Amino acid sequence: MLRSRIIPCLLVHKKGLVKTTEFKDPKYVGDPINAVKIFNEKEADELMVLDIDASVERRGPDFDLIRNLAVECRMPFCYGGGITSIVEAKKIIGLGAEKIAISSAAIKNPVLIKEIAKAVGTQSVVVVLDVKKRGLIGDYELFIHNGKERTGIKFKDFLKTLNEIGVGELVINSIEDDGKMTGYNFKLFDIARETVDFPMTILGGVGSLEDIQAAIKKYKTIGAAAGSLFVFKGKYKAVLINYPNRQERNNLYQLQK
């Protein structure tokens, strides 16, 4: 039986580790390599690292960063940022990442997902969808380039496209909840759970272990990802890399049974 995973999501901006709110105002919180070393010690289930500059700057992945992260990382490692080709995807896997995450390129050219999956294996292909609601009563829409560019593509319509193509994993990032630490947007994630039949990781809004608890209890097998929760501590958001201890994690994993 697959079990839920608790996943720190690290954002890299100008070579540093940052945290955003609604994809804006990146706050520097440290060095990515040092953060990886700490998550190693805390035995994190998995790590997701997203270079939020690459697609916006229309450049390729930072292979030096990926190499350095992979050397340090003792847990499954997913990297995203600037991936637009099979060659880049294969190189990243060759450097030691277990998964590659594609966002803008996958939305612009869904066929690329299938082509990369053939080259590196479907289990290694993660599609990241940054989603925001259009108005108070509108549909959820996909955004790209750090939420700066609207695509006009409805979230549910693209989910149906992904279902036809098939991917290893889907990461759904709620732009409106990013960095607010007020809890997951279950209304958004319910749409995906009802539409797709492959593994799903949810991201955006986590403020406590109780939020992760609620997600695992609701969805059973889920990737519960978070950013702020694992880099801040306390109501004043002091920078502190943290992660639930083994007993806390075991208690959370029990909820999926």
8 Å CB contact between 202 and 186: no
* 108: its two tokens: 């612009």
- Domain containing 118: what range? 5-256
8 Å CB contact between 151 and 142: yes
| Start-to-end C-alpha separation, the chain | 10
CATH number at residue 141: 3.20.20.70
Q: How far is CA 143 from the centre of its chain?
A: 15
Count the Cβ atoms, other than its own, within 10 Å of residue 83: 27
**DSSP letter for each residue of 13-75:** ETTEEEEEETTEEEEEEE-HHHHHHHHHHTT-S-EEEEESSTTTTT----HHHHHHHHHH--S
Q: Supply the pLDDT for residue 2.
A: 78
How many whole angstroms separate alpha carbon 61 and alpha carbon 154?
Answer: 27
Q: Supply the pLDDT for residue 1.
A: 54
Q: Supply the pLDDT for residue 212.
A: 97
Count the Cβ atoms, other than its own, within 10 Å of residue 97: 26
Torsions phi, psi for 109 (to 5 deg): -145, 80
How many whole angstroms separate alpha carbon 250 and alpha carbon 92?
Answer: 32
Lookup result for tokens 């690290």: 10
Instruction: Select which of 130, 157, 178, 190 is catalytic.
Output: 130
Angle, helix 63-72 to helix 86-95, in steps of 10 degrees: 30
Q: Supply the pLDDT for residue 213.
A: 96
Query: Could you list the pLDDT tens digit for every one of the 257 residues in the chain?
Result: 578 999 999 999 999 999 999 999 999 999 999 999 999 999 999 999 999 999 999 999 999 999 999 999 999 999 999 999 999 999 999 999 999 999 999 999 999 999 999 999 999 999 999 999 987 667 999 999 999 999 999 999 999 999 999 899 999 999 999 999 999 999 999 999 999 989 999 999 999 999 999 999 999 999 999 999 999 998 888 999 999 999 999 999 988 88
Torsions phi, psi for 191 (to 5 deg): -60, -45
- Is the pTM of the predicted complex or chain greater than 0.85? yes
How many whole angstroms separate alpha carbon 139 and alpha carbon 103?
Answer: 20
CA-wise closest residue to 73 among 104, 99, 102:
99
The total number of structural domains in the chain stands at 1
Q: Could you give the angle at the alpha carbon of 244 between the alpha carbons of 240 and 247, nearest 5°?
A: 150
Q: Could you give the angle at the alpha carbon of 152 between the alpha carbons of 151 and 154, nearest 5°?
A: 110
Q: Residue 62 catalytic? A: no
Q: Percent helix, strand and coil across the chain, each rounded to 5?
A: 40, 30, 35
CA-wise closest residue to 144 among 204, 56, 24:
56
